[in-house]
Amino acid sequence: MQTTAWLSADLVPRSGAEQVSGHAAQLTNDVSAADDDGVSISDIWKAFATGNENTPAVEGVNLRIRRGQFVTLIGPSGCGKSTLLRIVAGLLTPDRGSVSIFGETVIHAAESKHIGLVPQTPALLPWRTVIENVELPLQVNKHGTGGGDRRPIDPRELLESFGLGGVLDRRPHELSGGMQQRVAIARAFVFDPMILLMDEPFSALDEFTREAQRRGLLELWQSNQKTVLFVTHSVAEAVELSDVIVVMSPQPGRIRAVIPVDLPRPRGSLVGNSEAFHTVEVEVRRELRRTWSQPE
């Protein structure tokens, strides 16, 4: 991984007339051509067939995430956050709409190993050891599509940097839930992807490990110019990490609000004792409460 300064940039949901100022984000009704220097999510609709019914999961989602930006999705359980992430990862096909990643289709970006996904559940193969699970993408790729221009990172080094150097030869059932989560995070990094899609990656961790993982992620993001699309249920975590927080409304998931987090970094010391930090938290909570009281 190379040390490059991260870039702050703009996030643009491409429908809606509201304008929000701030260097980290803006809302606009600009629906112009795809942005080849970021991620464009254009008018995504997805429903699931359940029995005789079609359950809408996400509807009309438009987002543009600039390269290097840290964007967090937050919203009630079932509002479609994982669905959206899986569509951006190329694991689900939307019923309508499209996604472009640094000017490429999702399929092409996935083949080029530009995308790293940390799924909501770690999804480790139970018969493979920790190191073998992290090596898996490299082995699959050997017989597959070629790694594009991504240079893999040594899995052993990677696991050591995640504090898992002592459990390389254990199998997933011998690990705690939080350790399994960290293995899944390490696995997502193996191709040094340009975009990281992280679905509640720290949910099973204790408070102190969670804090350490957050710090580690921010260091990595800042020194390697990653673009991150992150999901959490923790408002404080969202404010600490993000350039922009996207609040989604419950079923079907729509974008309810886009909130720029215009706070200096690093923010660890601001948590809990800064007026500015608290103001953003209050705003996010207010929008979340509104999604409950005025479902769309």
Binding site for ligand ATP (CB under 6 A): 48, 50, 55, 57, 77-83, 120, 251
Whether the link from the prior residue into 56 is cis, omega within 30° of 0, is no
Q: Which residues, in sequence order, are CB contacts of 168 under 8 Å at separation 6+?
A: 129, 130, 131, 156, 159
Q: What is the dihedral of CA 99, 74, 192, 125, to 10 degrees?
A: -100
- Should residue 224 be labelled a site residue for Mg ion when binding is judged by CB under 5 A? no
Smaller CB separation from Mg ion, 203 or 209: 203
Q: Which is nearer to ligand ATP, 153 or 236 (CB)?
A: 236
Q: Which does 79 bind (CB under 5 to 8 A by kind): Mg ion, ligand ATP, none?
A: ligand ATP
Report residue 104: phi and psi, to 5°. Answer: -110, 160
Q: What is the strand order of the sheet 115-118 is part of?
A: 115-118, 195-199, 227-231, 70-74, 244-249, 254-260
Q: Which is nearer to ligand ATP, 244 or 246 (CB)?
A: 246
Structure tokens at 153: 């990172």
Quick one: what does residue 127 bind among Mg ion, ligand ATP, none, with the CB cut-off 5 to 8 Å set by partner type? none
**CA distances in angstroms from 187 to 42, 113, 220, 268, listed in the order given:** 28, 12, 15, 26
Nearer to Mg ion, 15 or 120 (CB): 120
122, interface contact from Mg ion, ligand ATP, none, CB < 5-8 Å by kind: none
- For residue 73, the one-letter residue type is L
User: % helix / strand / coil in the chain, to the nearest 5?
Assistant: 35, 25, 45
Binder of residue 98, out of ligand ATP, Mg ion, none (CB less than 5 to 8 A by kind): none
Nearer to ligand ATP, 28 or 121 (CB): 121
57 binds, among ligand ATP, Mg ion, none (CB under 5 to 8 A by kind): ligand ATP
How far apart are CB 88 and Mg ion at their closest, in Å?
13
Size (the chain), residues: 296
Candidate list 82, 100, 129, 227; residue touching Mg ion; CB under 5 A? 82
Looking at the Cβ atoms of 130 and 184, the one nearer to ligand ATP is 184
Residues of the shown chain interacting with Mg ion in the complex, contacts defined by CB under 5 A: 82, 120
